[in-house]
Chain A
């Protein structure tokens, strides 16, 4: 963290320097374009750094393209990127996410934010965003509580929605996967694990509830400590209980180790997880053959295969040298929604304030790569598609290429 703060301080000094230069420059060349600033807060340090970076690049790509095209007349979009991962946590750190959010809220130039990646961060950020009436769009955090009217007082005390999503929530992701376990995989009994994080516990709970409702016997439920190295104890216990399937709610820090050790102890069991199971971390850290066969979901339609996304994928690859994953695309969509909203505010001739931008996001109907995005009064996306993938080695492509090593197997059935 020290070094990051150091880096930030340097960047800020740099920014002051540049501002000073610009100030002098303005004397001769009249400033023609104004700037608006969008924050990007993601856990760029720690176990989720790789997928967080894909998300960051997705948003940045959309913003760079908009700037190059001059999408918002008279305005240039700038970004402030803040890291919510810390060395102490080894992954996303809710406390750091809160600190970052305060920083953004106190910066009047910031009119909207993209992020966070994780629901654990989102829970810490949402009340602060609400107090500042600063809207954020998350491309990946799926815990339903944050936007639920039931927890309104806790997460948006000011009343208005500030936490928007370009993915649906675990209120659909967990249960739909339970339906997939029951209908398609014909699982009769299951063991459920979570990684003790806000997202992991939440999605495991919703999965378990629906599994029970569908008559799948839940043989046990336990919690992994993500900092622990050894999961052989719990896996031995699971082996002894002998369920048809194993469901893991959680993200990569515990997940990678679970995948590795599960291959050793329960290789034949049907194993699945949520969107926390998707990312290059699994392909690199756990690798093949351990990762082979795991199921995973994402809380959006499968966009990588969509012809509409082809141009974006090409420019992403060209610019960053890696394939995007689906959440890099939902992040691209999130940026597009914000850009469009700012554009509409500018078109009315009113000043571009965060209040105006929030209202514009709330009423957005934006054509994005995943189709038209609009939000309900809580900030949740109207579309509720959950897609299922299975990790399956494709030898024709690099082993850590999310686009090819996660094979799309269909849409998880919604509960009727």
Chain B
């Protein structure tokens, strides 16, 4: 049955306290309790990656994390990726390379790409495809997404 708990965490650099159901996943808490709807529910079982966020520096599917687990954690969601007034190079590349059609999977792909490029700034095409195989896209056939990641990596290497 329902039980409510207070959770204190840092989301996109801001300290947040919110009330959640003990049964809430992090995805449900972000969307329904905090009001950050950029992470999307595609499958609710970790298959599609549309809900990906970065938790304490690690890429996670927020549908597979309980809200209660993020007590004291630092979270980065898609809403926190762009800096004031400027898109992140990954976001810019996705736009320029037309790497989205419907856009529902895009937040997850951008979070995954960010996690990839932070550990591997110069990935091969195969490494990109391997890393992104946890994110499903049904519109693009991945071609333009892979190109956007390549282009973002190049920009970020400077």
A and B pair up: no
Which B positions have Cβ atoms within 8 angstroms of A?
Answer: none
Interface residues of A (CB under 8 A from B): none
